[in-house]
Amino acid sequence: MNNRRAFIKAGVGVAATAGVASAKKALPLKKVVHRRGERPAKPPLFNGAVSYGNLLFIAGKGYHKEGDIKVHTKNVLDEIQAELENAGSSMDKVLQCRVFLNDLKDYAGMNEVFRGRFGDEPPVRTTIAAAGGIPGNSLVEIDVIAYIYILFIPGGRGRARGCTPARPPAPPRDRRPQQCGGESPTTRRPGLSPQAAPRAHPRALRTPRRGGSPR
């Protein structure tokens, strides 16, 4: 009885360990997405884009040149679009957007450029006027959270959209008997060559005599 209990406890422990290991293996991983595909030599102050599973986080973008709120908003949205596409996402896959204005009086001008940039179904959005202004003299700063479409292949790993998909299964082979030498497959026995087919049925190939049976 004691041996049986010990065996059961050992089995339960192995199953629990395997379950924890598989759960850890299935957890999504954090991945830094570099704009030009090259990792910087030194750790940066912060990263421009980080993915976690199929979620993509884009750091706040500003425009640090001359121009009004419309010029700043357009250039910031262009930068965000470039980051999204570099990571395998797009503007219409943005889930959340946060807008930080240097001055609340630019709210209407920002909206004129913002409208329509995220497709027919724009993301949720929060807009505030930052106390103290935006770093780098930008009139607006925007960050977003988007998703990356991943194609899951049965028996394999997920592939990001745009990668080569798995090959489709081969069509079923035609298993009907094939004709050989112009003869019907029913006129010869399996294993015989086409030349031997007439000899396989000598009675059927003879021409019957008039008024009598075949020779």
Q: State how many domains the chain has.
A: 1
Inform me whether the pLDDT recorded for 201 exceeds 90.
no
Identify the band that residue 188 occupies on the pLDDT scale cut at 50, 70 and 90: low
Tokens of 107: 């709210």
Residue 11 lies in a domain: no
Residue 124 lies in a domain: yes
| The pLDDT of residue 192 | 52
| The pLDDT of residue 5 | 61
| The pLDDT of residue 100 | 98
CA dihedral 62, 134, 144, 114 (to 10 degrees): -70
Measured from the Cβ of residue 24, the count of other Cβ atoms closer than 10 Å reads 8
| The pLDDT of residue 13 | 58
Residue 67 lies in a domain: yes
Domain encompassing residue 136: 53-160
**pLDDT tens digits for 5-50?**
655 565 555 555 555 455 455 667 888 887 666 677 788 788 889 9
Instruction: Report how far residue 164's alpha carbon sits from residue 182's, in angstroms, rounded to the nearest whole number.
Output: 44
| The pLDDT of residue 196 | 52
- The CATH number of residue 63's host domain is 3.30.1330.40
**pLDDT tens digits for 93-128?**
999 999 999 999 999 999 999 999 999 999 999 999
Residue 128 lies in a domain: yes
| The pLDDT of residue 94 | 98
Residue 104 lies in a domain: yes
Residue 40 lies in a domain: no
Percent of the chain with pLDDT over 90: 45
Question: Cα–Cα distances in Å, from 7 out to 1, 13, 14, 215?
Answer: 10, 10, 11, 83
Residue 43 lies in a domain: no
**pLDDT tens digits for 146-173?**
999 866 555 545 555 444 344 555 666 6
Alpha carbon 185 to chain centroid, angstroms? 49
Residue 62 lies in a domain: yes
Q: Which is nearest to 103 in space by CA: 63, 141, 144, 74?
A: 141
The pLDDT of 80-94, averaged and rounded, is: 95
The pLDDT of 123-151, averaged and rounded, is: 92
